[in-house]
Amino acid sequence: MLVDIWEGTEPRPEVERFCDMWGIKGPILLDPGGELATTLGVRGVPTNVVVDSDGTIRAFGAARLDELEQAIDSLYGR
Amino acid sequence: MAAIGERDDPAFPVGAVCRIDSRAPWRQVAEIPVGLDPEGIAVDVARRRAFVACSRSDFVSVVDLDSHEVVAEIATGAEPIDIGLDEQTGRVFTADAHSDQVTIIDSATLEVETALPVGGYPSGLTHVPEYRRLYVGNSLGSTMSVIDLDTLETVATVDAEPGAGAIGVDSTRRLVVCVNFVAASANFYDVDSFEEIARLELGTGTCAIGIVPERGEAFIVNSIAGTVSRVDLESIEVVEEIRTGQAPVGLTVAPAHDRIYVTNRGAGTVSVLGVADRCEWSQIPVGNGPGGVVVDPHDGRILVANAGSQTMSIVEDLLAAKPPAPVVEESSPWLGNRLPAFALEDYWTGERRTNHDWAEKKYILNFFASW
């Protein structure tokens, strides 16, 4: 799911424009103050945090497509 | 506004304005709050000022580079993204993406002189003093505007491709290179006739360029692909793809032309890449979501616009040459640990969602910003 951070302003209109532009319909959470991002030490966007079914973080960062695919493969034991 | 040094990095204590760490090949000098979504920076060397294009604030923050304070905010058109300064005329140019114009500011009076219409969604510009030309990449217009720096007349509008933005000029070979973010390509033009003489396919998300003319090389950032393409300007072909940090966005060539600086929007760092060896010499931490980057010719310090933290970082690269040990990217300390509990608002429903809603499921949190 997407987590919107660091808009610097009211996030809803910005997220609406973003979803319209890219045709996004999936789950989106709003973290306007970036609290979760700060807790996790996120320093930039995009940052992907891959979470296993027991809540364990299996990959962090993975901004490149090949890195993300590798992380997903690993998550599913492929 | 005063300079700040607050960082989450425990080695950079809250309240500090300067970090000196003999182990690190860099030094953080300041992190200065500016407007929203800062993207481009230009330096007025004579007056010791930086002009920061703040795209979400529709103004330029003017930063005193000695006191590290914002001394003025100058209203522009909507969404100023890129910026440049012509020392000969003292004019500052902003590419106002949402107004389809270039705003021209007098750097002495800090007042807007005029605005010039260009193509749709201008997102990048480069000025070349020796040619007396300003080149503007129009992303939605898929064109490149060429403007006379003195008369401010548009002397040509040249076809480019979707996502036209950043532009580089090779004075030795008299080439203008326009890189196209959406098309993932670059167009090469003769500087005099504007005739297109070559085209290159590049990596996804092509968005910044730097040229080292004496080596006949261009370095082009592919943000989504996460690489920098090294392009031979004689044969006009990609000869190498160089990996950098996460989501590279901005690039500038160091004054000595021995290294380039690449901002990594996904990592909050600047990669220092050797021009000759194409190795990553170091990664310098800056603010969150960095983009535009320039070097202050006065002292060689690196100025970085951080879209995420709405600041401008000033850092020093302390490396005299390639270090003996390569860069090792530190992995997150959260790897292998449990995701902390969270409760965040669902954009679609307004409800609070917690990590328990996804209990016993495998999922990915993709942190993003609309800019």
ipTM for the predicted complex: 0.97
Half-sphere exposure (Cβ direction) of B244: Cα atoms closer than 13 Å:
36
Test B268 with A63 for CB contact under 8 angstroms. no
Test B247 with A7 for CB contact under 8 angstroms. no
CA distance, residue B309 to nearest chain A CA (Å) = 7
Q: Do residues B288 and B303 touch, judged by C-beta distance below 8 A?
A: no
Q: Which of B266, B333, B367 sits opposite A5 (nearest CB)?
A: B367
A70 touches chain B (CB under 8 A): no
Q: Which residues of A touch B7 (CB under 8 A)?
A: none
Q: Which of A8, A17, A44 sits opposite B266 (nearest CB)?
A: A44
| Strands of B34-90, DSSP E | 38-44, 49-54, 59-64, 69-75, 80-86
CA distance, residue B36 to nearest chain A CA (Å) = 6
Find the radius of gyration of the CA atoms of chain B: 21
**Confidence check: pLDDT of B8 > 50:** no
Q: Taking all residues of chain B, what is their mean pLDDT, rounded to a whole number?
A: 93
Test A44 with B339 for CB contact under 8 angstroms. no
Test A31 with B363 for CB contact under 8 angstroms. no
A59 touches chain B (CB under 8 A): yes
Continuous segment of H or E residues that includes residue B288: none
Continuous segment of H or E residues that includes residue B176: strand B175-180
Confidence of residue A71 (pLDDT cuts 50, 70, 90): very high
| Cα diameter, chain B | 66
B105-159: per-residue pLDDT in tens?
Answer: 999 999 999 999 999 999 999 999 999 999 999 999 999 999 999 999 999 999 9
Ordered DSSP codes for B88-140: TTTEEEEEEGGGTEEEEEETTTTEEEEEEE-SSSEEEEEEEGGGTEEEEEETT
B260-318: per-residue pLDDT in tens?
Answer: 999 999 999 999 999 999 999 999 999 999 999 999 999 999 999 999 999 999 999 99
pTM of the complete model beyond 0.90 = yes
Per-residue model confidence (pLDDT) at position B23: 65
Test B266 with A46 for CB contact under 8 angstroms. yes
CA distance, residue B140 to nearest chain A CA (Å) = 13
B313-362: per-residue pLDDT in tens?
Answer: 999 999 999 998 877 778 899 999 999 999 999 999 999 999 999 999 99
Per-residue model confidence (pLDDT) at position B71: 98
Test B367 with A15 for CB contact under 8 angstroms. no
Half-sphere exposure (Cβ direction) of B274: Cα atoms closer than 13 Å:
15
Ordered DSSP codes for B139-162: TTTTEEEEEETTT--EEEEEE--T
Residue of B nearest to A62 (CA): B246
3-class secondary-structure state, position B71: strand
